[in-house]
């Protein structure tokens, strides 16, 4: 037996144990205008309430300007026009006049000063949405395939997802107390020191937990990158249950091989009525077995990797008291959105609008924020749906409204056809600068320019008009899921990116590092030979990501191995 003492739990664990209501001193800080920011401890607690403390990194040279980012919890990204108007108002009044659609079907407000925080969260709650558990060591916003086109079963899938939303929501009294009643909980009161969440206990999860529902053949939510994924099984037009995927995650750190990207394993099939039991089982496996000593190793994916999918499956069976049955067949064909006007199965129309990098704003000639605001005011019966590709879908539109809606959007420069070129339409970027404290390189602000340059190159090489899924992030955390892209740029330092190649079109393959560092300035020099080889050597219709996996990556690995062998000889 080892005499080594067990590793101490991480600081976040101590904090949660100390204040299990997660109240911190948030209400007291909010009420004190002299305090411009939250304390270091409260920075951790506010996350559970959907808030991140940030500073404007463009202004750092002249001193820190403290701001907060607020993330909504919007199950399945579904909003009424009234809720959209509320969010639009709040962004105008208290934020930086933009709404940022996230890769998990939510909306973030950036650039909010502390005084705006209370009104924003209060009004979001009055609109019947929330920010509780949008961040923190809990189940996050549950994502659901948003497209209403393919099957009537979507309504049932959405209904099931809401059962899981409720079942996995934390029950702390602090959220209501702070944001609705404006009262600081007495942290010494026995009911608060002993507060125990019925599902999460006193210390919640070791780390964040993500859940997604998808409806094949669309894998538009990248289901395999979630801790818990439900893949709808529809037989004879009827939703019969789900294939269960467990243990995905993308977060990693540069130069730390102990952290890695992982796709979820598909463990078995469950009938619809077990959807909540299984969610609780998987979440509590994370709660009970996740690593609480090292936050870099605390996600469920490491439990699944280290204990194995068979163990996880047996543990789920044990916790639910029923047995997952054999995986039913499923097939994914795409991860993207269907832009423009489409017909849903119920005969109504839906319109998918491209939003570059998810940022809804007004710019000269393209006033998307104003356009969507007017749509919400003039068409109160439609539904807003945020997509996992950072776009907006307007759904439930009768034939009689189609032309008026198209015309309204056009008056603000928002087109419904040919909205973006093929490469822009298939791209995503995380926010990074100037708001994200973890960003190492530009992402959202760099992506449009990078794509324009790649488009020029594609033209020169003779592959213009071919779709390539391109995603950028400012650091290795993976917020825009760059590790699923055919070309992923992962920030390392200002103007420098790791180059990842080889994702595929249906979100079922991770990409791999092709080159440790490339300079943004050298983009053309780096990509030209790769695109040229693709053009010359691809098989009929072969996508760039598939070609990279078949040819470019094996060649690069072989060259690296040969160089290593040569190096060890000399």
Choice from 251, 290, 488, 545 touching ligand SRM (CB under 6 A): 251
* 140 is an active site residue: yes
Q: d(Cα 248, Cα 254) in Å, to the nearest integer?
A: 19
Q: Are 389 and 485 in contact, with CB atoms under 8 Å apart?
A: no
Q: Of residues 135, 292, 436, 543, which has the active-site annotation?
A: 436
Q: Is residue 475 close enough to count as binding ligand SF4 by CB under 6 A?
A: yes
Question: Measured between alpha carbons, how far is residue 187 from residues 32, 39, 524 in Å?
Answer: 18, 16, 58
Q: Of the ranges 14-22, 31-39, 394-402, 428-436, which one interacts with ligand SF4 (CB under 6 A)?
A: 428-436
The least CB distance from residue 299 to ligand SRM, in Å, is: 5
Q: Is residue 446 close enough to count as binding ligand SF4 by CB under 6 A?
A: no
Give the nearer residue to ligand SF4 in terms of CB position, either 101 or 430. 430
Handedness of CA 83, 84, 86, 90 (dihedral sign): positive
Q: Is residue 107 close enough to count as binding ligand SF4 by CB under 6 A?
A: no
By the 10 Å C-beta count (0-12 exposed, 13-18 middle, 19+ buried), 254 is classed as: middle
Residue 475 binding: pick among ligand SF4, ligand SRM, none (C-beta 5-8 Å cut-off by kind): ligand SF4
Which residue's structure tokens are 């970027």?
429
The least CB distance from residue 2 to ligand SRM, in Å, is: 28
Q: Is residue 430 close enough to count as binding ligand SRM by CB under 6 A?
A: yes
Residue 503 binding: pick among ligand SF4, ligand SRM, none (C-beta 5-8 Å cut-off by kind): none
Q: Of the ranges 228-236, 264-272, 436-444, 552-560, which one interacts with ligand SF4 (CB under 6 A)?
A: 436-444
Q: Which residues, other chains included, contact 131 with Cβ-Cβ below 8 Å and sequence gap of 6+?
A: 49, 50, 51, 70, 71, 72, 73, 121, 124, 125
The least CB distance from residue 258 to ligand SRM, in Å, is: 11
Choice from 102, 130, 147, 416 touching ligand SRM (CB under 6 A): 102
Choice from 108, 320, 472, 506 touching ligand SRM (CB under 6 A): 108
Q: d(Cα 348, Cα 396) in Å, to the nearest integer?
A: 5
The least CB distance from residue 52 to ligand SF4, in Å, is: 10
Q: Is residue 511 close enough to count as binding ligand SF4 by CB under 6 A?
A: no
Choice from 27, 157, 371, 480 touching ligand SRM (CB under 6 A): 480
Picking from 128, 146, 121, the residue whose alpha carbon sits closest to that of residue 83 is 128
Neighbours of 568 (CB within 10 A): 7
Q: Is residue 111 close enough to count as binding ligand SRM by CB under 6 A?
A: no
Choice from 217, 308, 398, 437 touching ligand SRM (CB under 6 A): 437
Q: Which residues, other chains included, contact 122 with Cβ-Cβ below 8 Å and sequence gap of 6+?
A: 179, 180
Handedness of CA 128, 131, 132, 138 (dihedral sign): positive
Q: Helix (H, G, I), strand (E, B), or coil: what is residue 490? A: strand
Q: Is residue 10 close enough to count as binding ligand SRM by CB under 6 A?
A: no
Q: d(Cα 362, Cα 98) in Å, to the nearest integer?
A: 8
Q: Where are the alpha helices (DSSP H) in 37-189?
A: 40-48, 81-94, 114-126, 153-167, 174-179
* 135 is an active site residue: no
Question: Measured between alpha carbons, how far is residue 562 from residues 163, 257, 530, 555, 566 in Å?
Answer: 54, 22, 20, 10, 6
Residue 223 binding: pick among ligand SRM, ligand SF4, none (C-beta 5-8 Å cut-off by kind): none
Give the nearer residue to ligand SF4 in terms of CB position, either 46 or 382. 46
Q: Are 221 and 154 in contact, with CB atoms under 8 Å apart?
A: no
Q: d(Cα 285, Cα 199) in Å, to the nearest integer?
A: 12
Choice from 134, 264, 426, 430 touching ligand SF4 (CB under 6 A): 430
Choice from 113, 155, 438, 559 touching ligand SF4 (CB under 6 A): 438
Q: Is residue 443 close enough to count as binding ligand SF4 by CB under 6 A?
A: yes
Picking from 447, 498, 453, the residue whose alpha carbon sits closest to that of residue 470 is 447
* 16 is an active site residue: no
Give the nearer residue to ligand SRM in terms of CB position, either 108 or 172. 108
The number of residues that bind ligand SRM (CB under 6 A) is 29
Handedness of CA 29, 33, 35, 37 (dihedral sign): positive
Picking from 34, 67, 29, the residue whose alpha carbon sits closest to that of residue 51 is 67
313 membership: H or E segment, kind and range: helix 309-320
The least CB distance from residue 153 to ligand SRM, in Å, is: 23
Report DSSP state, residue 227. S
Q: How many helices (H) and strands (E) does the chain have?
A: 18, 22
Give the nearer residue to ligand SRM in terms of CB position, either 241 or 434. 434
Q: Is residue 210 close enough to count as binding ligand SRM by CB under 6 A?
A: yes
- Residue 406, phi-psi category: left (phi > 0), alpha (psi -120 to 50), beta (remainder): alpha
The least CB distance from residue 249 to ligand SF4, in Å, is: 13
Residue 210 binding: pick among ligand SF4, ligand SRM, none (C-beta 5-8 Å cut-off by kind): ligand SRM
Choice from 111, 290, 358, 474 touching ligand SF4 (CB under 6 A): 474
Which residue's structure tokens are 């419904």?
416
The number of residues that bind ligand SF4 (CB under 6 A) is 13
Residues near ligand SF4 (CB under 6 A) are: 430-432, 436, 438-439, 443, 473-475, 477-479
Residues near ligand SRM (CB under 6 A) are: 52, 69, 71, 102-104, 106, 108, 140-141, 210, 222, 225, 249-251, 299, 358, 430-431, 435-438, 477-481
The residues assigned a catalytic role are 71, 140, 208, 210, 430, 436, 475, 479
């Amino acid at each position: 037996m080892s005499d080594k003492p067990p590793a101490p739990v991480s600081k976040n664990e101590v904090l949660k144990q100390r204040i299990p209501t997660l109240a911190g001193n948030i209400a007291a800080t909010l009420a004190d205008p002299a305090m411009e920011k939250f304390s270091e401890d409260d920075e951790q607690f506010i996350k559970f309430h959907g808030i991140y403390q940030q500073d404007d990194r463009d202004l750092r040279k002249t001193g820190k300007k403290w701001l907060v980012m607020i993330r909504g919890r919007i199950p399945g990204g579904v909003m009424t026009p009234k809720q959209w108007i509320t969010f639009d108002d709040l962004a105008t009044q208290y934020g930086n006049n933009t709404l940022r659609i996230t890769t998990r079907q939510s909306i973030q407000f950036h650039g909010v000063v502390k005084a705006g925080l209370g009104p924003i969260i209060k009004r979001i709650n009055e609109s019947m949405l929330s920010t509780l558990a949008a961040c923190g060591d809990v189940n996050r916003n549950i994502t659901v395939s948003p497209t209403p086109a393919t099957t009537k079963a979507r309504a049932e899938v959405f209904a099931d997802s809401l059962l899981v939303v409720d079942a996995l929501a934390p029950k702390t009294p602090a959220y209501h107390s702070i944001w609705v009643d404006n009262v600081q909980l007495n942290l010494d009161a026995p009911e608060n020191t002993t507060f125990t969440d019925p599902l999460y206990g006193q210390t919640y999860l070791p780390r964040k937990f993500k859940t997604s529902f998808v409806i094949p053949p669309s894998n538009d939510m990248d289901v395999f990158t979630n801790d818990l994924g439900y893949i709808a099984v529809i037989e004879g037009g009827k939703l019969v249950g789900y294939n269960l995927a467990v243990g995905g995650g993308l977060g990693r750190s540069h130069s730390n091989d102990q952290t890695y990207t992982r796709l979820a394993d598909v463990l078995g099939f469950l009938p619809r009525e077990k959807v909540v039991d299984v969610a609780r089982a998987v979440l509590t496996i994370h709660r009970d077995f996740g690593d609480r000593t090292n936050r870099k190793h605390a996600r469920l994916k490491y439990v699944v990797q280290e204990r194995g999918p068979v163990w996880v499956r047996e543990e789920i069976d044990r916790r639910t008291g029923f047995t997952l049955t054999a995986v039913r067949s499923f097939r994914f064909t795409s991860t993207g959105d269907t832009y423009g006007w489409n017909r849903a199965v119920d005969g109504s129309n839906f319109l998918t609008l491209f939003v570059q990098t998810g940022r809804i704003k007004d710019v000269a000639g393209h006033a998307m924020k104003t356009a969507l605001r007017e749509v919400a005011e003039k068409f109160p019966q439609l539904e807003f749906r945020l997509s996992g590709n950072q776009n907006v879908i307007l759904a439930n539109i009768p034939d009689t409204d189609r032309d008026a809606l198209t015309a309204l959007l056009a008056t603000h420069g928002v087109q419904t056809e040919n909205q973006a070129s093929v490469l822009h339409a298939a791209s995503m970027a995380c926010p990074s600068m100037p708001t994200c404290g973890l960003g190492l390189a530009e992402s959202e602000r760099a992506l449009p320019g990078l794509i324009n340059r790649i488009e020029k190159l594609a033209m020169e090489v003779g592959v213009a008009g071919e779709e390539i899924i391109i995603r950028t992030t400012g650091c290795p955390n993976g917020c825009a899921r760059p590790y699923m892209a055919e070309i992923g740029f992962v920030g390392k330092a200002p103007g420098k990116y790791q180059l990842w190649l080889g994702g595929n079109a249906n979100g079922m393959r991770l990409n791999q590092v092709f080159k440790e560092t490339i300079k943004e300035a050298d983009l053309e020099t780096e990509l030209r030979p790769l695109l040229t080889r693709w053009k010359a050597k691809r098989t009929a219709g072969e996508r760039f990501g598939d070609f990279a996996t078949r040819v470019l990556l094996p060649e690069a690995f072989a060259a690296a191995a040969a160089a290593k062998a040569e190096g060890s000889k000399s």
